[in-house]
Structure 1
Amino acid sequence: MLEIRPTCENCNKSLPFDSQEAMICTFECTFCKNCVETVLQHVCPNCGGGFEKRPIRPENVLAKYPISTKTVHKPVDIKAHLKRINN
């Protein structure tokens, strides 16, 4: 079951359960679409994997399967990230 984390790990932008801008990697690292496209160049800074659009949890199951309230805010060292993916 996906956690559906509430914010972008890089910029801390709010990403509610129904956000069209939430992107996740295979380990569910969560970033906003803008950070994935413009900062991270579609490469997860944590695992090196790619990203996919996070699915939207249907509102009618939120009570039974609540979304996470865990905020992970770890701004990416952009210079180090770009060096790692471009070498």
Structure 2
Amino acid sequence: MALEMREICERCEVSLTSQAAAFICSFECTFCPDCTEAMSAGCPNCGGELVARPRRAADRGEAAAP
């Protein structure tokens, strides 16, 4: 099952491409680096830890699955 790779920060609504730096919790709530820092790396929705979202390989495309 692939990550959803949401395209906007849930806090400030800045655009996040699949190659952009972003942070997610275990529920895939998605935030930009600036908002993650402002929230001390804690998800305001579930209280979970925000960690760096992996970048999708550009040559595999959005539809690729393991």
Above 0.5 in TM-score? Answer: yes
Partners of 2:59 and 2:4 lie apart in 1 by 16
RMSD value, Cα: 1.1
Unpaired stretches in structure 2, ≥5 consecutive residues: none
Evaluate the alpha carbon distance shift between residue 63 and residue 51 of structure 1 in structure 2; reply closer, same or farther with a 3 A threshold.
closer
Equivalent runs, 1:1-87 vs 2, <5 Å: 1-20=2-21, 22-38=22-38, 40-65=39-64
Q: What is the percentage of aligned positions where both structures have the same residue?
A: 44
Which of structure 1's runs of 4+ aligned residues deviate more than 6 A? none
Taking structure 2 as the reference length, the TM-score comes to: 0.87
SS in 1 for 2:23: strand
The one-letter amino acid of 2:51's match is E
Unpaired stretches in structure 1, ≥5 consecutive residues: 66-87
Evaluate the alpha carbon distance shift between residue 36 and residue 64 of structure 1 in structure 2; reply closer, same or farther with a 3 A threshold.
same
Partners of 1:37 and 1:12 lie apart in 2 by 15
The one-letter amino acid of 1:8's match is C
Taking structure 1 as the reference length, the TM-score comes to: 0.67
The structural deviation recorded for 1:63 is 4.6
